[in-house]
Amino acid sequence: MLRLVRQRLAMLVLVLFGVSFITFLMSHVLPGDPAAALAGPHPSKEVLQAIRDQFGLDKPLPVQYLNYLNDLIHGNLGTSIRSQEPVLTELMRYFPTTLELITFAFIFAILLGIPLGVISAVKKNSFTDYVVRLFAVGGVSIPLFWGGLVMILVFYAKLGWFPASGRLDIELTTPETVTGFYTVDTLISGDTEAFFNSVKHLVMPAVALGYVQLAFIVRQVRSSMLDALSQDYYLTGRANGLSKRFLIIRYGLRNALIPSITIIGLSFGSLLGGAVVTETIFDWPGMGKYVTESILGRDFPAIMGFTVIIALAYVIINLLVDLLVYSLDPQTRK
């Protein structure tokens, strides 16, 4: 296990280096001048030059990248061109908001995806199986932005069941920040009305974001369950008169979840990337919306800082998934 941790940490360094280089290159080849975007309309040449000097935009690209790497090694993600604040400080301000969204999306994907995958495998080639598989194909095929817009049109504009944007109705008092999760902070403050209102605001963005990963989980669990139900231990148990439900839950699902854990775990990291689109559609004030505004404002440090944080989170999640599989699967340890 220690060897596995060392290998993953070494990979982390390589991944962060590659991500920082690619992001830096892509950010600087896009057309436009971030100094002009910051200076506003009709800036003078002196103002533009002062901004370039302040942020090092007048230096050659290799020098800019080396300076960025040096800051990154020391835990400095740079200073936002738009707000003049440290990028790390801003990202940590928005991180709890995004984490709350992807946590609820992840819970939705797991609670619905695993049972649907099991039911689809147990009822193979039945009408139920076809319906579940069609549902899963929809999650893979339908673009996230289109699905989100349809949900707003149906459940907000037509039915009025759920709000379309924000985390809380404007007439309600924002809870005191303890965890950054409105669903938790409202309970801590004892404001049940704000709690239920925050849950209503979470439903549509969490479902829209989680539906994509739910589809992958359904397909993976179904495939693993079909393999488990064809093994000798399951067939022998059925031949000896053991309950089908007992065998499915006790042996089939338990063995099917081991290869599925990797997909389930990595889906949490994928939700971070999907949050960019979801937060933009539903006006969710998290990291995704922040980086979208940074892209529009040509804020290079904010864009690169967000990308590095996502890459770091993805590698750490990958490591935790590998350790979990290592601890659960004897064959992996061998």
Q: How confident is the model at residue 92 (pLDDT cuts 50, 70, 90)?
A: confident
Average pLDDT over residues 83-94: 84
Range of the domain at 70: 32-76
Instruction: Give residue 267's pLDDT.
Output: 80
Same domain, 219 and 244: yes
Q: How confident is the model at residue 309 (pLDDT cuts 50, 70, 90)?
A: confident
Most confident by average pLDDT, 31-45, 68-82, 98-112, 245-259: 98-112
Q: Tens digits of per-residue pLDDT, 137-153?
A: 887 788 888 888 888 89
Q: Tens digits of per-residue pLDDT, 2-40?
A: 777 777 777 777 877 887 788 777 766 666 666 666 666
Type of residue numbered 93: R
Question: What is the residue-averaged pLDDT of the chain?
Answer: 80
Q: Tens digits of per-residue pLDDT, 162-212?
A: 888 888 888 888 888 788 888 888 888 888 888 898 888 889 999 988 888
247 or 214: which leads in pLDDT? 214
Q: How many domains does the structure of the chain reveal?
A: 2
In a domain, 299, yes or no: yes
Most confident by average pLDDT, 75-89, 146-160, 256-270: 146-160
Instruction: Give residue 214's pLDDT.
Output: 87
Q: Do 80 and 302 touch, CB atoms closer than 8 A?
A: yes
CA dist 294 and 90 (Å) reads: 12
Same domain, 128 and 176: yes
Same domain, 112 and 178: yes
Q: Tens digits of per-residue pLDDT, 223-237?
A: 888 887 777 777 777
DSSP 8-state code for residue 86: B
Instruction: Give residue 329's pLDDT.
Output: 63
String of DSSP letters for 168-227: S-TTSPPPPPSSS-HHHHHHHTT-HHHHHHHHHHHHHHHHHHHHHHHHHHHHHHHHHHHH
Retrieve residue 138's tokens: 């929809």
Instruction: Give residue 30's pLDDT.
Output: 64
- Stretch (H or E) spanning 332: helix 330-333
Same domain, 48 and 197: no
Q: Tens digits of per-residue pLDDT, 102-123?
A: 889 988 988 888 888 888 888 8
CA dist 188 and 168 (Å) reads: 16
In a domain, 52, yes or no: yes
Instruction: Give residue 278's pLDDT.
Output: 87
Instruction: Give residue 39's pLDDT.
Output: 64
What pTM does this model have?
0.79
Mention every residue, 6+ apart, whose C-beta is less than 8 A from residue 101: 202, 205, 206, 209, 275, 278, 279, 284, 286
Same domain, 37 and 110: no
Same domain, 232 and 265: yes
Same domain, 197 and 142: yes
